[in-house]
């Protein structure tokens, strides 16, 4: 087994998933504004350090995706953040894209940038302890979007990023996110996500990726967030699995879903339904940002010195999602008492 394959498996096996804590400073400022906390480097560290030192890390979190600022920070106890994450047996990850920018040729759509100097940046991040990485492409669903241009350019960038990551001995997370915004129904999401994934894997093949040393981070197949159509969790799970089976090569060891704006409970429930059925060989888990941090962030906003209970809230959410990786989550037991 190659090293990259082993690392990929370590991140997504044994009921573990990924904590996506790689919000850019701009996004983190929005999150902090909502809880009336000043967004400065010290407060961002304080919140993230609280998550990374919680007891739930050991059992439920196989990898943490960091932002450039965080991977270079040192805790109040003098431990650097990568070492803190490694101390609970979790793998250190780093987001390396520099964001989605207007796509020349179809200016209302986005293409993700960040390839310039990436080979050198990977070398630096490897030295800092990173063993996996993330690049996110975004696609909007409207009557005319996504265009073939947006699908192809993003797939090309994802493949070039992923090839550079593997060259640096780092596992790439491939994240093509079809956004939930819009009033489209679930079938439209299925159709667009299928095309996006198909084209991504064509490009990954072309760039000679070792797919066993990658992780896919897709969206679930869901109706648009302003759609009026009713969809059951069972339908979501079945269409999501159908889409993966049709478009994702079997060598890919793990699928770690993004939450994409679903509530914490929805994200857990849908993951649970998917794993109750999972008739694939993929290990299917979570790589949640908002759906792992929302309740913790809101508790911490009101109780900034209550380190212990903030961690209790985080541990609970991480445990619930871990249960969902084996289809063993039970909705009426998803309660937390502080
Ligand atoms: P969400 O789970 O909040 O969608 O974030 C995941 C992520 O890493 C987006 O790039």
The answer to whether 276 and 237 are in contact (CB under 8 A) is yes
Q: Is 139 exposed, middle or buried (0-12, 13-18, 19+ CB in 10 A)?
A: buried
Q: Is the CB of 161 under 6 A from ligand 1?
A: no
Provide the 8-state DSSP code for 14.
Answer: T
Positions of the chain with pLDDT lower than 70, given as ranges? none
Which residue is catalytic, options 203, 217, 264, 273? 217
3-class state of residue 279 by DSSP: coil
What does the alpha-carbon distance between residue 320 and residue 269 come to, in Å, rounded to a whole number?
Answer: 9
Mean pLDDT of the chain: 98
Beta bridge partners of 19: 64, 288
What does the alpha-carbon distance between residue 20 and residue 10 come to, in Å, rounded to a whole number?
Answer: 16
Q: Is the CB of 288 under 6 A from ligand 1?
A: yes
- What are phi and psi for residue 3, nearest 5 degrees? -60, -40
Note the pLDDT of residue 338: 84
Query: Active site includes 335?
Result: no
Closest atom of ligand 1 to CA, residue 136: 10
Q: Is the CB of 258 under 6 A from ligand 1?
A: yes
What CA–CA distances, in Å, run from 178 to 223, 237, 245, 308?
11, 16, 17, 36
Q: Please report which residue ranges of the chain form alpha helices under DSSP H.
A: 3-12, 25-34, 41-52, 56-60, 68-71, 81-86, 118-128, 148-167, 186-206, 233-247, 264-277, 290-302, 307-324
3-class state of residue 95 by DSSP: strand
In the reported structure, the alpha carbon of residue 177 is separated from the centroid of ligand 1 by a whole-number distance in angstroms of 9
Note the pLDDT of residue 193: 99
Q: Is the CB of 136 under 6 A from ligand 1?
A: yes
Percent of the chain scoring above 70 in pLDDT: 100
Which residue is catalytic, options 109, 175, 203, 264? 175
Note the pLDDT of residue 1: 84
What does the alpha-carbon distance between residue 41 and residue 26 come to, in Å, rounded to a whole number?
Answer: 12
Q: Is the CB of 316 under 6 A from ligand 1?
A: no
Beta bridge partners of 47: none
Note the pLDDT of residue 256: 99
- Report residue 193 as tokens: 């996500």
The answer to whether 307 and 39 are in contact (CB under 8 A) is no
Note the pLDDT of residue 337: 86
Query: Active site includes 212?
Result: no
With both helix axes pointing from N to C terminus, report the angle between 233-247 and 264-277 in degrees, rounded to the nearest 10.
Answer: 60
Note the pLDDT of residue 4: 98
- Give the pTM: 0.98
Q: Which long-range contacts (CB under 8 A, 24 or more apart) does 67-72 make?
A: 67/21, 67/22, 67/23, 67/24, 67/25, 67/28, 67/94, 67/95, 68/94, 68/95, 69/25, 69/41, 69/44, 70/21, 70/22, 70/44, 70/45, 71/125, 71/128, 71/129, 71/130, 72/128
Give per-residue pLDDT as tens, 103-156. Answer: 999 999 999 999 999 999 999 999 999 999 999 999 999 999 999 999 999 999
Closest atom of ligand 1 to CA, residue 290: 3
- Report residue 188 as tokens: 């439209």
Nearest residue by C-alpha to atom 4 in ligand 1? 260
In the reported structure, the alpha carbon of residue 88 is separated from the centroid of ligand 1 by a whole-number distance in angstroms of 22
């Amino acid at each position: 087994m190659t090293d990259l394959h082993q690392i990929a498996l370590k991140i997504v096996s044994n009921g573990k998933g990924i904590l996506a804590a790689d919000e850019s400073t701009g996004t983190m400022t929005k999150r902090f504004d909502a809880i009336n906390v000043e967004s400065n480097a010290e407060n961002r560290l304080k919140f993230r350090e609280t998550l990374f030192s919680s007891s739930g890390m050991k059992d439920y979190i196989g990898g943490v995706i960091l932002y450039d600022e965080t991977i270079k920070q040192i805790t109040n106890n003098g431990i650097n953040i990568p070492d803190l994450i490694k101390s609970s047996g979790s793998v250190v990850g780093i987001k390396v894209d520099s964001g989605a920018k207007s796509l020349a040729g179809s200016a209302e759509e986005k293409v993700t940038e960040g390839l310039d100097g990436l080979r050198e940046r990977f070398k630096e991040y490897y030295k800092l302890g990173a063993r996996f990485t993330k690049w996110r492409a975004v696609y909007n669903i409207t009557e005319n979007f996504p265009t073939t241009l947006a699908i192809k350019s993003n797939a090309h960038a994802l493949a070039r990023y992923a090839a550079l990551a593997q060259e640096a001995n780092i596992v790439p997370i491939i994240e093509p996110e079809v956004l939930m915004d819009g009033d489209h129904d679930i079938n439209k999401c299925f159709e667009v996500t299928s095309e996006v994934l198909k084209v991504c894997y064509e490009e990954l093949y072309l760039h000679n990726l070792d797919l066993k040393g990658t992780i896919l981070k897709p969206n679930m197949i869901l109706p648009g967030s302003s759609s009026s159509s009713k969809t059951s969790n069972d339908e979501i799970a079945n269409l999501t699995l159908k889409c993966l089976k049709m478009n994702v090569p079997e060598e890919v060891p793990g699928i770690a879903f993004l939450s994409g704006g679903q509530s914490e409970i929805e994200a857990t429930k849908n993951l649970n339904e998917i794993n109750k059925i999972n008739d694939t060989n993929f290990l299917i888990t979570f790589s949640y940002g908002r759906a792992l941090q929302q309740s913790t962030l809101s508790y911490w906003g009101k109780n900034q010195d209550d380190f212990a209970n903030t961690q209790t809230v985080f541990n609970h959410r991480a445990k619930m999602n871990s249960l969902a990786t084996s289809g063993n989550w039970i909705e009426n037991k998803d309660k937390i008492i502080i």
